Structure 1
């Protein structure tokens, strides 16, 4: 791939540098503070270190979008942002407030990252994303440090039909209450892949795991449990 960087002769120190000659460019990763203008319409994958709705509106062909944690997001523009081809969205918890702007009719994969405490705001954001998509959400991934069982239950209810769930917990998380949520009748009925990483499993937690596996015996095909601390074996 050929990539040419062109700076206008009249560009000041703070002006963006256009990158014009990159016909094969499809993926861009931009850290916060970088000031470039890429051929946005041809991109299919974008990682933004600073949320900028003006950039997203120039990227109608995105299939994957990752928003990185940033304390200086541009929240001044609250107009709807339509990304008609986007299938995978990764966003940190501090971007829940902008989710209502997004119109993602083909969204199928949601990754909620960089979250310390799972709150009702996350469940609301997930419901908004599900409502914006005209296809079923097939994969939900939650990377959370201290997930509260009741709020986790609300998040599971907000995305009712994924076939795959990735739950990544902080090392201090006790897993049994979360696993019990997944054992409840009607919880994620289409689920066939469950990946749990992090957290702690104590001797009395294995009963909860066995109950959940028993409740899902008719549908679960893949189960991964990679914990930081385990105090007994199956």
Structure 2
């Protein structure tokens, strides 16, 4: 496995990210901790935009576990039917809502282990909730962070768990709270999977990725 970038380089990278956007925000629509859990669980193998479109109306009428249970499985399924794997996800929403009502008094726990015990909630989902709602420096590694971490060597790793540990180990503490959002947004809009937008990249001079996309040639015209 490739070695990570030197500390001073990683510090400079995140200094630039912070200067460009000091308070990066997640793009999933939610109104409270419960709707955040549901939204992130629904987002597996789906885009944030697609989830937001499906949940906007749903969260207007069911923003608590009990309201979701009152709505019922059939109605929840109908609301989320535009999302991939929607039938199974709808079942998980109902199941996790029942557990929250029965075991947590309708409140979302602030423990990773407790969150991961909920149907459809894995470590990534739990880390997103801990970070976005509870303000903990938890690192939710998705495909974007995995790609950016390895391409740039900010956080190289053979799997998501290794990259998560690398993010925690390599990125200075002052950047930990927002690190995963900076990396996700960078991967989503600049360091994309195919033809990364290297010409628009604010860390291009610090990036060790060899297959950088060349800048487009200027259009020919009259001088």
Normalising by structure 1, we get a TM-score of 0.25
Q: Which has the higher contact order (CA 8 A, sep 6+)?
A: 2
More strand by share: 1
